[in-house]
């Protein structure tokens, strides 16, 4: 599970990876606890302290449900599944209300769109979930927009493959420490305003 988190195949990770990774780590810790490992017991307690309510967080559960690699992890629990489906449909309706008169896409039955998605075959773990939603069919446009909203990339200081590679981490740290505050502020200002119209 830990190697999946830091794999170099992907430099950045979606929110949809959090619940599956927590579940994989929890499962491994349970196996180690059954063999009498006290350290695993302590880690499991800490994990439960910090992540026990992960499946109650809408951003985490919706992103996981709308990621075709991990969808069934959160939709396998009846209470959570019903709440997630209801929230996704509400999001699609809200999006439709916001786009009334501005969109050429006619809303399909939102329940049907969600059912079509739930009937799709799961993707392999190395697929990018955003690619799946990039070019939706017209009848799935609303669901695609909701998915792209929730499949956010986790904001981190540095990509995971650098964080756990000491050589790369030292290189990044040395580059950061060589920036003087004035240049850093100018770069942040320019980056923040690059999309403004001229």
- Looking at residue 159, its pLDDT comes to 61
| Encoded tokens for 124 | 């392999």
Please compute the mean of the pLDDT values over residues 174-186 and round it to a whole number.
Answer: 72
DSSP 50-87: HHTTGGG-HHHHHHHHTSTTTHHHHHTSHHHHHHHHHH
Burial class (CB within 10 angstroms; exposed 0-12, middle 13-18, buried 19+) of 114: buried
Cα 49 to Cα 34: distance, rounded to the nearest angstrom: 20
- Residue 2 pLDDT: 47
- Cβ(160)–Cβ(5) below 8 Å: yes
pLDDT digits (tens, 9 = 90+) for 158-177: 566 666 677 776 776 666 66
pLDDT grade for 188, boundaries at 50, 70 and 90: confident
């Amino acid at each position: 599970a830990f190697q999946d988190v830091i794999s170099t195949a992907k430099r950045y990770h979606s929110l949809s990876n959090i619940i599956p990774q927590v579940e994989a780590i929890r499962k491994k810790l349970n196996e180690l606890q059954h063999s009498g490992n006290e350290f695993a017991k302590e880690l499991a307690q800490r994990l439960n302290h910090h992540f026990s309510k992960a499946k109650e967080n809408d951003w985490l559960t919706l992103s996981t449900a709308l990621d075709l690699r991990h969808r069934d992890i959160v939709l396998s629990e009846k209470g959570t599944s019903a709440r997630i489906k209801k929230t996704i449909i509400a999001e699609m309706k809200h999006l439709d209300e916001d786009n009334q008169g501005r969109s050429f896409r006619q809303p399909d039955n939102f329940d049907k769109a969600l059912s079509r998605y739930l009937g799709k075959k799961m993707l392999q773990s190395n697929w990018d979930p955003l690619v799946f939603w990039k070019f939706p069919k017209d009848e799935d446009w609303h669901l695609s927009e909701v998915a792209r909203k929730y499949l956010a990339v986790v904001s981190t200081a540095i990509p995971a493959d650098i964080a756990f590679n000491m050589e790369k981490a030292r290189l990044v740290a040395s580059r950061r420490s060589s920036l003087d505050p004035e240049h850093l502020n100018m770069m942040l200002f320019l980056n923040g305003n690059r999309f403004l119209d001229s």
